[in-house]
Structure 1
């Protein structure tokens, strides 16, 4: 099982793949995609600068876009509370979860759903945008950033489709640093509670294992944590997400 430091490095490398802004630095790595969605612009860690110094610099770099601050185990102790004292707002706490891929639980694919890799970015992005909160006006920019994605790993995009071609579930599997990290795992609202999310997660893990990964990682929303636990994921840390 890879270390938590490796898991966090893989997470940073995926989000850096969206960056078209100024390069960050090890003490305050930032990424800026210009997509109007907070998760796709942000700060990844703080190591060295005081919260006041870091906040001033982050606001300068990310002025004009919605943004998020990922305060995790790789940030200096007290960072989150220091940022809140300076006016940042905590919006969520998300567990960092991992599992050994050999322990993947079997999950049936719902009848009438086919899960496969896709390169139809227009349909794929529109589907995950609807679930993740990217506004319709931001979909074209997100598609262009997906096309230009440039990270030190491999992106696998999986879509679950009905027989008529409609995408009902999505997942992005990021192979980097010897593990797979999952993003944009989601089911269209009218298709939920049918096992699609669990099935597409399982499919992504199976594909990653076939390509040599031994560990899987993700950050979970409260709604999805129980599903990931049933698949074998367990918490190993936590992100506190702040807006600023």
Structure 2
């Protein structure tokens, strides 16, 4: 099992792959996609900087876009409370979860669902955008950023389609730092409670294992946490997501 530091480094590397702005140094790394969706612009850690200094610099880099601060175990102790004292609002607490891929439970693929890698971003991105809350007017920019994505790893995009070709499930697997980190795991609202999200996760873990990954990581919403626990994921830390 990779260390929590490695898991966090892989997470930072993925989000920096969206960046088209000034990323800064390891004390205050930021990413800016210009997509009007807070999780796709933000601050990844604060280390060795006061909250006041960090806020002033981050505001300059991220001016004009909605953004969030990922305050987790790789930020200095007290960062979140310091930012709250400056006016930040906590929007969520998300557990950081990991699993040993070889020990993860298998999830059956629901009848009529076909899961495969896809490069068709024109259909894939709108599917995950609808589930993730990316507004319709932000979808074209998201497609362009996906096409231009760069990073020190490999992106695997998985689409779960019905027989008619409709995408009902999505997952993005990020292979970096010796592990796989999952993003945009989602199911269209009309198709929920059928095991699609678990099947998408299981398929992503299988492909990652074929490419040498032994550890999987993700950040979970409250809705998804029970599903991931059943598959074998356990919490190893937490992000406090803040916004101004």
Q: Could you say which TM-score interval applies, normalised by the shorter chain?
A: over 0.9
Query: Who is 2:59 aligned against?
Result: 59
Q: Which runs of 5+ in 2 are unaligned?
A: none
Query: Who is 1:230 aligned against?
Result: 230
Query: Who is 2:197 aligned against?
Result: 197
Query: Who is 2:9 aligned against?
Result: 9
Quote the Cα distance in structure 1 between the aligned partners of 2:123 and 2:243: 29
Instruction: List per-residue Cα deviations over 1:155-183 (Å, max 9, x = no partner).
Output: 00000000000000000000000000000
Query: Who is 2:43 aligned against?
Result: 43
Match runs of 1:102-141 below 5 Å: 102-141=102-141
Quote the Cα distance in structure 2 between the aligned partners of 1:205 and 1:24: 32
Query: Who is 2:239 aligned against?
Result: 239
Quote the Cα distance in structure 2 between the aligned partners of 1:19 and 1:177: 19
**What secondary structure, in the 3-state scheme, does the structure 2 residue paired with 1:212 have?**
coil
Query: Who is 1:24 aligned against?
Result: 24
**1:79 Cα offset (Å):** 0.2
**1:106 Cα offset (Å):** 1.5
Quote the Cα distance in structure 2 between the aligned partners of 1:199 and 1:22: 37
Quote the Cα distance in structure 2 between the aligned partners of 1:23 and 1:183: 21
Quote the Cα distance in structure 1 between the aligned partners of 2:96 and 2:192: 23
| Normalised TM-score (structure 2) | 0.99
Instruction: List per-residue Cα deviations over 1:203-231 (Å, max 9, x = no partner).
Output: 00000001000100000000000000000
Quote the Cα distance in structure 2 between the aligned partners of 1:193 and 1:54: 42
Q: Which runs of 5+ in 1 are unaligned?
A: none
- Give the number of equivalent residue pairs: 244
Query: Who is 1:144 aligned against?
Result: 144
Quote the Cα distance in structure 1 between the aligned partners of 2:183 and 2:202: 13
**1:24 Cα offset (Å):** 1.4
**What secondary structure, in the 3-state scheme, does the structure 1 residue paired with 2:193 have?**
coil
